[in-house]
């Protein structure tokens, strides 16, 4: 099992010391939050809160995803980083490929690309991208990023994007894992057919089991037997017995955090307490699970 430390919507000054502490404690990876902007007015709902309320996001600090990942990679040597998750189809895919390949190359292959579809039409509107057919656009984006990050010349012709063969230099010396987040049937199918793994955002353990079963069925349907990463946010990740249960279900990575971030107002938890939480978890769970 691999262990990912999650922290988001906190004082930006916390990230560097937290990344250093997570690496020293024995975490394998740290997740990077993503948000472009917060609209003044919106009728959209948030899919991962019980009532769909998104007002907790008001005034929350978000450092741009690739900027934050590069900053933390520069002050660590072993820790990996993964967006959880990057809103891919609102962005130009060639630019994302350049950012991804550059970060993977300069960090020594310590970057994976977690991607998802933003649920909010405003994200698409402010970036000048149609909200319609966002799923198909997402599929093309993944193919473009994968093709360009592989090195050599790559061209593409699809419904939304078309370009003659180009190359991005430098290319990383290892393939960049692409992971798809989302709980819907299209997201699970996309993860299986177009990516290297799936990212779970938490919730009911019964629903998680159903999604894991569906991933297994989809992989069998498509004749896929190779490695496949499954990143899960689950209460089972907080005990050694729970880690064993998740391993038995095929989970490869657990995502753990130590506070509930979906509340209004600033994060008031002291940095020292955050470091104590991750160190305590490392002693009680990571050290006893490896």
What is residue 130's predicted lDDT score, i.e. its pLDDT?
A: 97
Rounded mean pLDDT for each run of 10 residues along the chain, 290 residues in total: 97 98 98 93 76 83 97 98 98 98 98 95 96 97 98 98 98 98 97 98 96 98 96 98 98 96 92 98 96
* Residue 52's CATH number: 3.20.20.30
What is residue 42's predicted lDDT score, i.e. its pLDDT?
A: 80
What is residue 273's predicted lDDT score, i.e. its pLDDT?
A: 98
Q: How many domains does the chain have?
A: 1
What is residue 49's predicted lDDT score, i.e. its pLDDT?
A: 74
Residue 253 CA neighbour count, 13 Å, CB half: 27
Its domain, for residue 34, covers: 2-289
What is residue 44's predicted lDDT score, i.e. its pLDDT?
A: 79
Provide φ and ψ at 52, rounded to 5°: 75, 5
* 85 upstream amide cis, omega within 30 of 0: yes
What is residue 110's predicted lDDT score, i.e. its pLDDT?
A: 98
> Model pTM greater than 0.85?
yes
| DSSP per-residue string spanning 157-207 | E-SS-EEEEE--SSPPSSPPPEEEE-SSHHHHHHHHHHSSEEE-----HHH
Give the Cα separation of 21 and 36 in Å (integer): 27
| DSSP per-residue string spanning 7-33 | --SS-GGGHHHHHHHHHHHT-SEEEE-
């Amino acid at each position: 099992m691999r262990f990912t430390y999650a922290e988001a919507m906190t004082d930006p000054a916390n990230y560097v010391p937290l990344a250093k502490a997570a690496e020293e404690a024995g975490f394998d990876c740290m997740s990077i939050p993503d948000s472009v902007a917060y609209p003044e007015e919106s009728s959209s709902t948030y899919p991962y809160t019980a009532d769909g309320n998104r007002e907790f996001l008001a005034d929350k600090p978000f450092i741009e995803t690739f900027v934050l990942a590069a900053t933390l990679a520069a002050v660590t040597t072993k820790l990996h980083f993964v967006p959880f998750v990057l809103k891919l189809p609102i962005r130009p895919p060639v630019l994302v490929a350049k950012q991804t390949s550059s970060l993977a190359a300069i960090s020594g292959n310590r970057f994976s690309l977690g991607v998802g579809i933003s649920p909010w039409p405003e994200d698409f509107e402010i970036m000048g991208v149609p909200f319609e057919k966002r799923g198909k656009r997402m599929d093309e984006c993944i193919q473009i990023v994968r093709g360009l990050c592989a090195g050599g010349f790559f061209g593409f012709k699809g419904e939304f994007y078309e370009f003659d063969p180009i190359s991005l230099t430098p290319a990383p010396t290892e393939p960049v894992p692409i992971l798809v987040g989302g709980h819907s049937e299209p997201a699970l199918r996309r993860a299986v057919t177009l990516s290297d793994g799936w990212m779970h955002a938490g919730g009911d353990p019964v629903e998680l089991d159903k999604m894991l079963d569906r991933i297994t069925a989809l992989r069998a349907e498509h004749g896929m037997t190779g490695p496949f990463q499954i990143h899960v946010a689950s209460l089972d990740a907080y005990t050694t017995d729970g880690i064993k249960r998740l391993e038995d279900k095929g989970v490869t990575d657990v995502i753990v955090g130590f506070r509930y971030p979906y509340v209004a107002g600033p994060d008031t938890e002291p940095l020292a307490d955050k470091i104590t939480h991750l160190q305590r978890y490392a002693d009680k769970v990571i050290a006893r699970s490896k």
